[in-house]
Amino acid sequence: MFESILITIATAATPLLIASVGELVVERSGVLNLGVEGMMVMGAVTGFGVALATGSPWLGVLAAIMVGALFSLLFGFLTLTLVTNQVATGLALTLLGLGLSGMLGEGFVGQPGVKMSYLYIPYLTDIPFVGKLLFGQDPLFYLSIILTAGVAWFLFRSRAGLTLRSVGDNHTSAHALGINVIGIRYLAVMFGGACAGLAGAYLSLVYTPQWIENMTAGRGWIALALVVFASWRPWRVLAGAYLFGAVSIGQLHAQALGIGVPSQLLSSLPYLATIVVLVLISRNRRLTMVNTPASLGRPFVPDR
């Protein structure tokens, strides 16, 4: 029983972790992309549709990653090349993604999806209590952990990561040193979009292998909050994703146990937790200012 709860928590946390790690890299470069929700839902409908047409969940995952990256390129073109407002553009991207996914996925509603298989390692998966939790998850679960470790190494152990952080902290000084600020931000935005698309594919191919309109259900906004909650640190993002995953699964178990609390209130717990966390973080202004990329959300126009 307890093992199954832990497994469902890991499953609920994985799409949040993937999307949050991608957005963390974007914001570390100084760009604020509020279109995570739109890119996630487009990844979900694309992954489901391609997997349904080909019978291969891996092709669905690849297509979702590509669609997320393409959507992020649209955001990058508007905000980095045309220098539009990042907040307004991100919100418009989310609205576009929600509307377009609803139209594209209209024919997928009610159809059984193609579920990604779970791993099975002889003997290891059969270990009591921890076997399925550690050695019997879906491949994207392990990919999310590897992705978190890779981003942590990249940002704080590599020369390229130092360059990206310097762009996010002071794009004017970085440009003066000969760093291609716009090029680096484009790459960061594309990485974030690819991660959002992958997170969306996880929802429609692993979490619930079916297509439901607006199936992301605000997870993109939670991912954005997680980046702030984690103070732009990858391992803190992992801890925060599993915390929010536990809250999401906890409210489902509370409803199943028939606790005398309205189901609507229990369903809102993950979003209430997001608000509470953001309020608590905003009270510690010094911690927020120390870790926030100084150029976050600020447009950059290179010298002509």
137: tokens are: 């998850």
222: tokens are: 């939670």
Residue 86 within any structural domain of the chain: yes
Instruction: Confirm if 25 and 164 have CB atoms less than 8 A apart.
Output: yes
Candidates 298, 302, 24; CA nearest to 180 is 302
Question: Which residues, including other chains, have CB under 8 Å from residue 97's CB and lie 6 or more apart?
Answer: 35, 37, 38, 39, 40, 41, 42, 71
Tell me which residue range forms the domain holding 226: 2-110+123-291
Residue 209 within any structural domain of the chain: yes
| Total structural domains within the chain | 1
Residue 167 within any structural domain of the chain: yes
Residue 300 within any structural domain of the chain: no
Residue 57 within any structural domain of the chain: yes
Identity at 144, one-letter amino acid code: S
CATH code (residue 26): 1.10.3470
- For residue 88, the model assigns a pLDDT of 96
> What predicted TM-score, i.e. pTM, was given to this entire model?
0.93
The pLDDT profile of the chain, 304 residues, written as one tens digit per residue, is: 677 888 889 999 999 999 999 999 999 999 999 999 999 999 999 999 999 999 999 999 999 999 999 999 999 999 999 999 999 999 999 999 999 999 999 999 989 889 999 988 888 888 887 888 888 999 999 999 999 999 999 999 999 999 999 999 999 999 999 999 999 999 999 999 999 999 999 999 999 999 999 999 899 999 999 998 888 999 999 998 998 888 888 776 666 666 666 666 666 777 777 777 777 776 766 666 667 899 999 999 887 5
- For residue 254, the model assigns a pLDDT of 66
Residue 233 within any structural domain of the chain: yes
Instruction: Confirm if 72 and 196 have CB atoms less than 8 A apart.
Output: yes
User: How far apart are alpha carbons 156 and 30 in whole angstroms?
Assistant: 16
- For residue 264, the model assigns a pLDDT of 66
256: tokens are: 């199943």
User: How far apart are alpha carbons 161 and 155 in whole angstroms?
Assistant: 4
Question: Which residues, including other chains, have CB under 8 Å from residue 175's CB and lie 6 or more apart?
Answer: 181, 300, 302, 303
The three-class DSSP label of residue 200 is: helix
Residue 163 within any structural domain of the chain: yes
Instruction: Confirm if 152 and 146 have CB atoms less than 8 A apart.
Output: no
Q: How many Cα atoms occupy the beta-carbon half-sphere of 70 within 13 Å?
A: 10
Residue 115 within any structural domain of the chain: no
- For residue 259, the model assigns a pLDDT of 65
